[in-house]
Amino acid sequence: MKLGRMNHIGVATPDLDAAIAFYRDVMGATDITEPFVLESQQVRVCFVNTPGESGTAGTQVELLQPTTPDSAVGKWLEKNPLGGQHHICYEVPDIHAAKAWFEKLGKRVLGEPRVGAHGTLIFFVHPRDMGGQLTEIMEAPTHEH
Amino acid sequence: MKLGRMNHIGVATPDLDAAIAFYRDVMGATDITEPFVLESQQVRVCFVNTPGESGTAGTQVELLQPTTPDSAVGKWLEKNPLGGQHHICYEVPDIHAAKAWFEKLGKRVLGEPRVGAHGTLIFFVHPRDMGGQLTEIMEAPTHEH
């Protein structure tokens, strides 16, 4: 596998609207997408677009608020009530090839590929196998940029 | 303030050489800088370069191993022995203007601006004031790219 683009870092928050206000009013973000509910992950989610080099799109901040305390992000927030960095996401050209790659290396892939917040297939790899980082692997969108 | 480029995410590790091998052999990174000791932060550090859009440089992964358990990163690792995401770093054009901005908003800036791993002035802002994320603010290098 070849390292792909860092698509986003996932940041959990107990209050999505407050987090949006923070990125807008404190950090100075000018481009934040409309929040929507991603049922498959039981989160309300939006993206803060950050500037990359030379006018390109940079790594996004994905803001995540659980829609129920029983969800994965809800349980994470129980341990980290302020919120904070929850996962990191890299793009790959082929999600199934990537899954086979991580599995061959003995990394615990958490479930089958499913549609993620960008509308492409994603899976997560267990943080204990990834240097402590919950890692999302995402098939790169072909229509963006 | 206007949101700047996400320069890097800081990832703490108990074993820098193992972390380098992980990014090279598992994640497929092909461009990892030589480790060096940053005395002011009591860390051994290197950067994993990730690809941005259209051949630009993407957000880096800064790998950090404490040189002593008494350091800030050393204490963080006590609570997170596997390592993981430690901080996030955004670029600003003027470090002193940025410090004044965060202070005006009541955010706790941790110490005076000092030279960071990229050779420019940096400071950190307290995670409790930043949605749970320890946030590094870094004056953008003028000579890179």
Inter-chain touch B9–A128, beta carbons under 8 Å: no
pLDDT at residue A144 tops 70: no
- Asked if B128 has any chain A CB less than 8 Å from its own CB, the reply is yes
The verdict on B107 touching A (C-beta cutoff 8 Å) is yes
What's residue A143's pLDDT?
Answer: 60
Is the per-residue pLDDT at A105 higher than 80? yes
The whole-number pLDDT of residue A111 equals: 94
Q: Is residue B88 in some structural domain? A: yes
Mean pLDDT of B127-134: 97
What mean pLDDT do residues A5-24 have? 98
Spatial distance between the Cα atoms of A36 and A17, rounded to a whole number of angstroms: 12
Residue pairs spanning A and B at CB distance below 8 A: 139
Report yes or no on A144 lying in a domain: no
Pinpoint the alpha helices (H) of A47-131: 72-79, 95-104
Q: Please confirm, yes or no, whether B91 is among the known catalytic residues.
A: no
B81-115: per-residue pLDDT in tens?
Answer: 999 999 999 999 999 999 999 999 999 999 999 99
Phi-psi region of A83 (alpha: psi -120 to 50; beta: other; left: phi over 0): left
Contacts of B13 (CB under 8 A, 6+ apart): A131, A132, B19, B63, B64, B65, B83
B85 touches A at CB < 8 Å: yes
Flag if A27 and B83 touch (Cβ within 8 Å): no
State the total domains in chain B: 1
In tens, the pLDDT along B20-61 reads: 999 999 999 999 999 999 998 999 999 999 999 999 999 999
Q: Which domain holds residue A83?
A: 6-139
Min distance A39 CA to chain B CA atoms (Å): 24
For an interface test with A, give the residue of B8, B59, B99, B129 to mutate (most A CBs within 10 A): B59
B1 assigned to some structural domain = no
CATH number at residue B63: 3.10.180.10
Residue A145: predicted pLDDT: 44
The answer as to whether A70 is a domain residue is yes
The answer to whether A82 contacts B128, with C-beta atoms less than 8 Å apart, is yes
The arithmetic mean of pLDDT across residues A47-56, rounded, is: 96
Query: Looking at beta carbons, which residues of chain A come within 8 Å of B26?
Result: 1, 102, 105, 107, 130
